Amino acid sequence: MKFRVYNPTDIRFGTGQIQSLRDLVPLKSRVLLLYGGGSIKQNGIYDQVMAGLAESTVFEFGGVEQNPVYETLQKAAHVARENDVDLILGVGGGSVIDAAKFLATMVPTGSEDPWADLAGGKLPARTLPVGAILTLPATGSESNAVSVISSRERKLKLPFKNEAARPVFAILDPSTMQSLSRRQLENGVVDAFTHVLEQYLTAPVNAPIHYGYGETLLQVLSEWGPKLIETGSDEARENVMWAANQALNGLIGAGVPQDWSTHMIGHAITALYNVDHARTLSVIMPSLMRYKAAQKQAMLARYGRKVWSISEPDDAIAAEMAIERTERFFKTMGCPIRISELGLDFSEAGIVEHLERAGQTVLGENRDIDASSVKQILSLAA
């Protein structure tokens, strides 16, 4: 397919790079520093950021939730407008960076409640610039154009896209990962791994470069994810942080068919049951692969052979073996592979209803995953 790749995010990677804030933030800026539950104040990141912002006027807004909440961002927008800020700096994981991008879009609308417009793709004429300091590799949010935001009032979790909100710079310092819990590290690796699969496991097209790079990312995550958990070495942090960024910065998905059904079903599970994002993916992805095994057979078999060194010549058998290897990998990364493991009073109808309200009942690379397919995938995943 035709495609455009335009990723202008200035990435500064490596230990100590938070110092480059001095070069990246224009002098005398009015910065809104956005952060989450306070981890940055305990692990020293906040102090490094404030040192880097010495030449700016800084306003703070903390308390962005995991799976950021729109109603909280309405309060943040008030602070941004009141202080006439000219840069939003998100310091945290995907939640905080998504929130920063959404806020940068929301503030210039001038509206107290622009959810419906933004969900409908009606973007303001200008967007505030965003900077990102990543402390949890997982989502790729630091150099992509997407924010995933939940509205508590609407009980809805939706992706929003605004190219103008793609961060102008992103600082990726792997040493910030030292204070992450095992669970967050596991989640990050599984989320990034799934991002590659959602852009890869479709029907083959003429894209050997995309596929080869995707396979490298999958191999790196499958090799270094477990090492990250076991050793917490600098090498593991560096490789996982860079892989997670590359997995969802727009490159491997450019011009190829994609299937984001696992993510859309996963967002519904998080919206209704508050399950960690990655753990919704690990329970849905294997069952989606099985449900669509015939349609995705060629790429599943290729994935099995290239990433998991499966030598089976029969594509159907190799595809099923690849699914089993994926399940084993998710388990190694401490993530569940069945809904029953989540211990919820689960309602398939509730998930379908969320997808309907989100306008997401036409899913899959062939647009053939509808409400009844989702029910069957959920039954397989039970």
Residue ranges in contact with ligand NZQ by CB under 6 A: 36-39, 43, 66-67, 92-96, 98, 135-136, 138-141, 144, 146-148, 176-177, 179-180, 184, 187-188, 191, 248, 263, 277
User: Which strands, in side-by-side order, build the sheet including 169-172?
Assistant: 10-13, 169-172, 130-134, 87-92, 30-35, 57-61
Q: Report which residue's Cβ sits closest to Zn ion.
A: 191
Q: Give the Cα separation of 234 and 380 in Å (integer).
A: 39
Q: Give the Cα separation of 217 and 168 in Å (integer).
A: 24
Q: Give the Cα separation of 40 and 133 in Å (integer).
A: 11
Give the nearer residue to ligand NZQ in terms of CB position, either 98 or 365: 98
The pair of three-digit structure tokens given for residue 339, joined into one six-digit string: 């809904």
Shortest Cβ 381–Zn ion spacing (Å): 17
Give the nearer residue to ligand NZQ in terms of CB position, either 224 or 260: 260
Shortest Cβ 144–ligand NZQ spacing (Å): 5
Partner whose binding site includes residue 90, from Zn ion, ligand NZQ, none (CB under 5 to 8 Å by kind):
none
Partner whose binding site includes residue 141, from Zn ion, ligand NZQ, none (CB under 5 to 8 Å by kind):
ligand NZQ
Give the nearer residue to Zn ion in terms of CB position, either 12 or 101: 101
Shortest Cβ 66–Zn ion spacing (Å): 13
Partner whose binding site includes residue 215, from Zn ion, ligand NZQ, none (CB under 5 to 8 Å by kind):
none
Shortest Cβ 191–Zn ion spacing (Å): 4
Give the nearer residue to ligand NZQ in terms of CB position, either 146 or 318: 146
Give the nearer residue to ligand NZQ in terms of CB position, either 180 or 243: 180
Give the nearer residue to Zn ion in terms of CB position, either 186 or 191: 191
Neighbours of 314 (CB within 10 A): 10
Residue 162 · residue 270 · CB < 8 Å: no
Shortest Cβ 192–ligand NZQ spacing (Å): 9
Q: Give the Cα separation of 64 and 45 in Å (integer).
A: 16
Which x/- pattern over 162-201 shows residues binding Zn ion (rule: CB under 5 A)? -----------------------------x----------
Shortest Cβ 285–ligand NZQ spacing (Å): 12
Q: Could you give the angle at which helices 277-291 and 261-273 cross, rounded to 10 degrees?
A: 140
Give the nearer residue to Zn ion in terms of CB position, either 284 or 378: 284
Partner whose binding site includes residue 29, from Zn ion, ligand NZQ, none (CB under 5 to 8 Å by kind):
none
Strand 146-151 to strand 156-161: parallel, antiparallel, or no bridges (unpaired)? Answer: antiparallel
Shortest Cβ 42–Zn ion spacing (Å): 26
Shortest Cβ 314–ligand NZQ spacing (Å): 33
Give the nearer residue to Zn ion in terms of CB position, either 191 or 365: 191
Chain residues that interact with Zn ion, rule: CB under 5 A: 191
